[in-house]
A and B are shown apart, each in its own frame.
Chain A
């Protein structure tokens, strides 16, 4: 399989993971190890950055895990930029999952504030991966201000509803010059495979693993589905035939 490269960094795994909702930090660690994930997002609000013994960070201290701090909880660009700078200092990474959702009920991203913050954060030297609606035009704007990848949603976060935005994701994938990571709504390994077959560069999964009855097993299932979907994409899927092949071709006279 091709390696995924974001901002010059190589990833063997195209499955990114979240760290919330697990029944314990140990369960989180075991599941993420089983998933093979190399990019793990963690909410700034959940970790105690001044504590060297923070329970979440302690369980993520494996060389294969690269931390992707996220700004969940901020409501506008100003708050996001402020939090990002303090987090960069404390966590010693300039990678950032930019999440601005002023609406705490559906947690839907604010496109206007996200674009503003992304532009500023790129200038400040961050590697920005913004969480956004499946909006192809917004993706192009973000690409122009220099984000490292885009993270459009498949369906509302935590909904496990799969790729409800599929038609728009296809346009984004077709148009994008930066990697496309499908985030939010991926509720089953079949959704993961579907996203990868479509040509997404990676996916991000949290709830579906954390809340399952056996998170470690589910993490492995997602790992395999992501790999299978990617292999199928690289092998080029056979076309789905919607009509029967005509037994009397209409253009055979051209061969005469």
Chain B
């Protein structure tokens, strides 16, 4: 398990080491022709690295095109529920927030699915809070069964589960799980997650291992930027990625870098990450790992997204609604966070096309997952 490796590292020492990287370290990392390692990554995200932003962007752009071509994948979230037993100081769905709670019924899920299909989507991300009684594994299983007839690729961002639960959902057609550690700073993690199952740091940290054991197709990693020093948190994300790629080699990985956004009843970010630093981080991830997918959400504003998608990004959400029922059932309900880019997917697609890129709406097919057909057949019997 990753915890064994993680426990060998000390947050303050790592931070110190990143902040003491020099110009020479950055140049070494940039000019290297062999595979770049974690020390190179530290140099690329260091304050010294911020003076090399144009060079990093050029290299990142070129490496991304070589691997992923002139394409950007599109996906959109489908919020199934905002019920949650956790207290997270930064989240609009936090248990202690007095908002109207809503969990979509079967027919409401289908109404939302139809609305999302009309927007052109074929890859979907299911999101819930953590409320075992209402949105536990049976609810998720049912939702996947309903939605697999509409969408080619189903991702999920919900509470961490056990390996056997993941196996059950994968057999139904689940392709990808996003599980962000939020922060790798153990003490701060406790501070931001004082109540609920989510307060168990190690259980969350070992989630990608359980997913890898279940042979999930893809795992999404990341931290919530704003909680702690982003450089140190990103190092731990890279460390986690390195470990997982070697241990669970049949799984694909993606990284997201959500910056904290305003929402009902939440704290102010402790750390502000500026746009230039975000670009530095995106390019650093790409230069460090040429194959990892990098995902950009509608948390970022229009101008930033329009310019940054060519610098290393491989997938984007567009026209997202972060409230359950947001596409058709109940567009006025309360959001998890405010999105910054409210343009329609078609508007964004046009803009991407103009810059010489193609939007990929479909990059998976359920015929590649025979278990779906097998479980469907057994169910009929």
The answer, among A25, A74, A105, for a CB contact under 8 Å with B368, is: A74
A103 adjacent to B250 (CB under 8 Å): yes
B293 to chain A: closest residue by CB? A104
* B249 in contact with A105 (CB, 8 Å): yes
Q: Are B368 and A44 in contact (CB under 8 A)?
A: yes
- Stretch from B48-56, B62-70, B160-168, B205-213 contacting the other chain: B62-70
Residue of B nearest to A72 (CB): B368
Interface string of A51-88 (1 = CB under 8 A from B): 00000000000000000000101110011001100110
Instruction: Output the least CB separation between A64 and chain B (Å).
Output: 23
Q: Quick check: is B291 within 8 A (CB to CB) of the other chain?
A: yes
Shortest Cβ distance from B370 into chain A, in angstroms?
Answer: 4
For B365, what are the chain A residues with a Cβ–Cβ distance below 8 Å?
Answer: 44-45, 47, 49, 73, 83
Q: Is the CB of B367 within 8 A of A24?
A: no
* Listed stretches B102-110, B257-265, B350-358; interface member: B350-358
Whose C-beta in chain A lies nearest to the C-beta of B292?
A: A105
The B210-231 residues at the A interface (CB cut-off 8 A) are 218
Q: Is A83's CB under 8 angstroms from B367's CB?
A: yes
Cross-chain contact B69 with A45 (CB below 8 angstroms): no
Report whether B250 and A78 are in contact in the complex, using a CB–CB cutoff of 8 Å: no
Instruction: Tell yes or no: A234 within 8 A of B by CB.
Output: no
Cross-interface CB contact of A45 among B68, B218, B357, B368, cutoff 8 Å: B368
Give the Cβ gap from B301 to chain A, nearest Cβ, in Å: 25
- Cα-based distance from A78 to B66 in the complex (angstroms): 31
- Whether the pair B66, A160 counts as a contact (CB closer than 8 A) is yes
A226 at the interface (CB under 8 A from B): no
Q: Is A136 an interface residue (CB 8 A)?
A: no
Q: Which residues of A contact B363 (CB under 8 A)?
A: 45-46
Residues of B within 8 A of A160 (CB): 66
The complex places the Cα of A61 from the Cα of B70 at a distance, in Å, of 22
Other-chain residue from A44, A48, A75, A211 in contact with B69 (beta carbon distance below 8 A)? A211
Interface residues on B, range: 20 to 34
Q: Are B358 and A82 in contact (CB under 8 A)?
A: no
A78–B371 alpha-carbon span in the complex (Å): 10
B68 near A104: Cβ-Cβ < 8 Å: no
Interface centre among A45, A71, A74, A86 (most CB of B within 10 A): A45
- Determine if A22 and B70 form an interchain contact, defined as CB atoms under 8 angstroms apart: yes
Complex formed: what's the CA distance from A210 to B369 in Å?
29
Residues of B within 8 A of A86 (CB): 367
What mask results when residues 39 to 77 of chain B are scored 1 for a CB within 8 Å of chain A, else 0? 000000000000000000000000001111111000000
Distance, CA A158 to CA B251, complexed state (A) = 19
Q: Is A102 an interface residue (CB 8 A)?
A: yes
Q: Which of B69, B122, B353 contacts A210 (CB 8 A)?
A: B69
Question: How far is the CB of A45 from the nearest CB of chain B, in Å?
Answer: 5
Q: A210, B70: Cβ atoms under 8 Å?
A: yes
User: Which residues of A lie under 8 Å from residue B68 when comparing CB positions?
Assistant: 21
Question: Out of B249, B356, B362, B370, which one reaches A48, CB within 8 Å?
Answer: B362
Contact B369 A22 (CB under 8 A): no
A87 to B68 CA separation, bound complex (whole angstroms): 24
Residue B111 CB within 8 A of the other chain: no
0 or 1 for each of A167-201: is its CB under 8 Å from B? (1 = yes):
00000000000000000000000000000000000
Task: For the complex, count residues of A whose C-beta is within 8 A of B.
Answer: 32
A207 interface hit (Cβ, 8 Å): yes
Residue A247 at the chain B interface, CB threshold 8 Å: no
Q: Is A23 an interface residue (CB 8 A)?
A: yes
A111 interfacial contact with B, CB 8 Å: no
A160 to B369, CA, bound (A): 31
With a cutoff of 8 Å between Cβ atoms, the chain A residues found around residue B302 in the complex are none
**A73 and B368 within 8 A (CB):** yes
Cβ contacts under 8 Å, A47 to chain B:
362, 365
Which residue of chain A has the shortest Cβ distance to B374 in the bound complex? A82
Q: Which residues of A contact B122 (CB under 8 A)?
A: 48
Q: Is B69's CB under 8 angstroms from A22's CB?
A: yes
A23 contacts which of B357, B364, B369 (Cβ < 8 Å)? B357
Known contacts A83-B367, A211-B66; A25 and B358 CB within 8 A of each other: yes
CA distance A104 to B124 in the complex (A): 21
Q: How distant is the Cα of A105 from the Cα of B247 in the complex, in angstroms? A: 13
By a CB distance below 8 angstroms, the chain A residues around B369 are 79
Q: Does B96 contact A (CB under 8 A)?
A: no
Q: How far is the CA of A204 from the CA of B152 in the complex (A)?
A: 28
Contacting residue for A46 out of B251, B356, B362, CB 8 A: B362
B250 touches A44 (CB 8 A): no
Expressed in whole angstroms, the minimum distance between the Cβ of A124 and any Cβ of chain B is: 15
A78 to B370, CA, bound (A): 8
> Closest residue of chain B to A75, judged by CB?
B250
Q: A210 — nearest CB in chain B belongs to which residue?
A: B69
Q: Is B190 located at the chain interface by the 8 A CB criterion?
A: no
Contact residues in A for B250 (Cβ distance below 8 Å): 75, 102-104
Q: Counting CB contacts under 8 A, is B99 at the interface?
A: no
Tell yes or no: B360 within 8 A of A by CB. yes
Q: How far is the CA of A31 from the CA of B368 in the complex (A)?
A: 29
Q: Are A45 and B364 in contact (CB under 8 A)?
A: yes
Contact B358 A158 (CB under 8 A): no
A23-49, CB < 8 A from B: 23-25, 44-49
Q: Which residues of B contact A25 (CB under 8 A)?
A: 358
Q: Which of B254-285 contact A (CB under 8 A)?
A: none
- By Cβ-Cβ distance, the 5 closest A-B pairs, closest first, are A21-B69, A23-B70, A104-B252, A82-B370, A86-B367
Q: Which residues of A contact B (CB under 8 A)?
A: 20-25, 44-49, 71, 73-75, 78-79, 82-83, 86-87, 102-106, 158, 160, 207, 210-211
Additional 11 contacts, C-beta under 8 A, given A49-B367, A82-B370: A22-B69, A23-B69, A23-B70, A23-B358, A45-B363, A46-B363, A71-B368, A79-B370, A103-B250, A210-B70, A211-B69
Please name 12 pairs of A and B residues whose Cβ atoms are closer than 8 Å in the assembled complex, sorted by A. A20-B71, A22-B71, A22-B358, A45-B365, A75-B250, A79-B369, A79-B370, A82-B367, A82-B373, A104-B250, A207-B69, A211-B65
